[in-house]
Structure 1
């Protein structure tokens, strides 16, 4: 049986599976894993690579499962490159890859590394159709995955957790939850028509916007607070200024443009944080 809907050839099949790689959404979790390693102040390349592959496999699982549910179960999408069997094979492959990475983390680090990594796959696999219908879990699933990627990336390097890793995980959980609320506002009318309860549907677009920017502001204030307390390097405040400027512009835009600005602003935010930590080692904070 064919795996790709367009054609049964090897090239078409490869393109169909490659189509499930979405850089805009896959890059942040992978970068978060590496950011965790940067926070650790050292880089064991082999174990970092294993964790990165595990995170990639988890996010790939989410995209294949979402596509399968939206096209074959819900009938929301107009097209999908994979057949039903192709989706199942893709899920088996990504899950097997993830499981192999977890076994390697168990051997190279310990069970805690696996415990911090395993939930990323559970969130990914159950995002659709279970988690994406509840306002809280639909909003926090992806941000929680980012937070776990930071913690896992840090832990596999140090076999311990520290305040700075937990602090940054909290910041991204809150910040990206705000961005996700705005992202979901784009589909308010459609989600409402199918009774999909996102935050925008539950609260209404205006109150959802207020909540979203409240979360974003809270995340930025957390960075400032941790910088003042010397948990974060003081220069991380520059990331607050950079993202804050983007948020001010996005606040005046419609949900589609706002989401585009905030997602790209998140990349800048992360880049400035990485630079701040890289050039101001944690040992200098004492």
Structure 2
């Protein structure tokens, strides 16, 4: 039985599976896992790689499951490269990779490392059709996964969770939740027609916009507050200023363009944070 819906043979099958790798959405979680490791200052490359692969496998699971539900079950999508069997095989493979990484983390680190990593797969697998129908979970699923990636990336290196790791995880949870609200506003008319309750559908586009930018502003103010309090290196304030400039431009744009700007702004935000931590190690600002 075929795994790919278009074409036959190994090449078509490989292309179909590779089509579920979406760099725009998969790069941030993997980068967040590595950022968590960078926060520690001393990195075991093998452990960092295992954790990063686990996060990648979790996000891949989310994309395959989401496509399976939206195309084969809900009939919302017009096209999908994998057959139903192909989706099941893809889910089995990604889950096997994720499970293998968890076993390695259990052996090489400890069970707590698995406790911090396992929820990323649970969120990914249950995003559709369970979590994406509720305004709260539809909005916070992806941001929560990134927050957990930061915490897990830190823990597998340090064997503990510090205030700075928790602070960065919280900032990204709030900031990315704001971006997700804007992203969902793109599909307001369609989501409303199928009674899919995103934040925009629940409260209306105007209020959703206000809530989204309120969340992003809260996250940026938190970065500034943490920097002033020396919880974060002072130079992390530059990340807040950089993203704030992008958000000001996005505020005047329509949802599709605003989402594109904000997603790329979040890349700049993360890059500046990594640079700040790399050149101003946390140990130098009073951290254990």
Q: Same fold (TM over 0.5)?
A: yes
**Structure 2 match to 1:256:** 256
2:202, 2:97 → 1: CA distance?
Answer: 37
2:245, 2:34 → 1: CA distance?
Answer: 26
**Structure 1 match to 2:112:** 112
Structure 1 residue 282 displacement after superposition: 1.0
Please tell me whether residue 4 in structure 1 is matched to residue 4 in structure 2.
yes
Question: What is the root-mean-square deviation of aligned Cα atoms in Å?
Answer: 0.4
Please tell me whether residue 86 in structure 1 is matched to residue 86 in structure 2.
yes
Structure 1 residue 165 displacement after superposition: 0.4
SS of the residue 2:20 aligns to: coil
1:133, 1:42 → 2: CA distance?
Answer: 41
1:155, 1:148 → 2: CA distance?
Answer: 10
Alignment of 1:49-64 (within 5 A): 49-64=49-64
Misfit runs of 4+, over 2 Å: none
Please tell me whether residue 236 in structure 1 is matched to residue 236 in structure 2.
yes
1:283, 1:232 → 2: CA distance?
Answer: 11
Structure 1 residue 274 displacement after superposition: 0.2
**Superimposed CA distance per residue, residues 27-74 of structure 1 (whole angstroms, 9 cap, x where no aligned partner):** 000000000000011110000000000000000000000000000000
1:227, 1:242 → 2: CA distance?
Answer: 15
1:41, 1:104 → 2: CA distance?
Answer: 22
1:256, 1:7 → 2: CA distance?
Answer: 32
Q: Give the structure-1-normalised TM-score.
A: 1.00
Structure 2: runs of 5+ lacking an equivalent: none
1:257, 1:283 → 2: CA distance?
Answer: 40
**Structure 1 match to 2:245:** 245
2:265, 2:11 → 1: CA distance?
Answer: 36
Structure 1: runs of 5+ lacking an equivalent: none
Structure 1 residue 98 displacement after superposition: 0.3
Please tell me whether residue 70 in structure 1 is matched to residue 70 in structure 2.
yes
2:260, 2:184 → 1: CA distance?
Answer: 12
SS of the residue 2:181 aligns to: helix
SS of the residue 1:81 aligns to: coil
**Structure 2 match to 1:37:** 37
**Structure 2 match to 1:221:** 221
**Structure 1 match to 2:202:** 202
Structure 1 residue 8 displacement after superposition: 2.4
Q: Give the structure-2-normalised TM-score.
A: 0.99
1:269, 1:244 → 2: CA distance?
Answer: 9
**Superimposed CA distance per residue, residues 136-180 of structure 1 (whole angstroms, 9 cap, x where no aligned partner):** 000000000000000000000011010110000000000000000
Alignment of 1:63-212 (within 5 A): 63-212=63-212
2:90, 2:193 → 1: CA distance?
Answer: 31
**Structure 2 match to 1:27:** 27
1:48, 1:155 → 2: CA distance?
Answer: 10
Structure 1 residue 129 displacement after superposition: 0.3
- Equivalences, count: 286
Structure 1 residue 185 displacement after superposition: 0.1
2:97, 2:282 → 1: CA distance?
Answer: 34
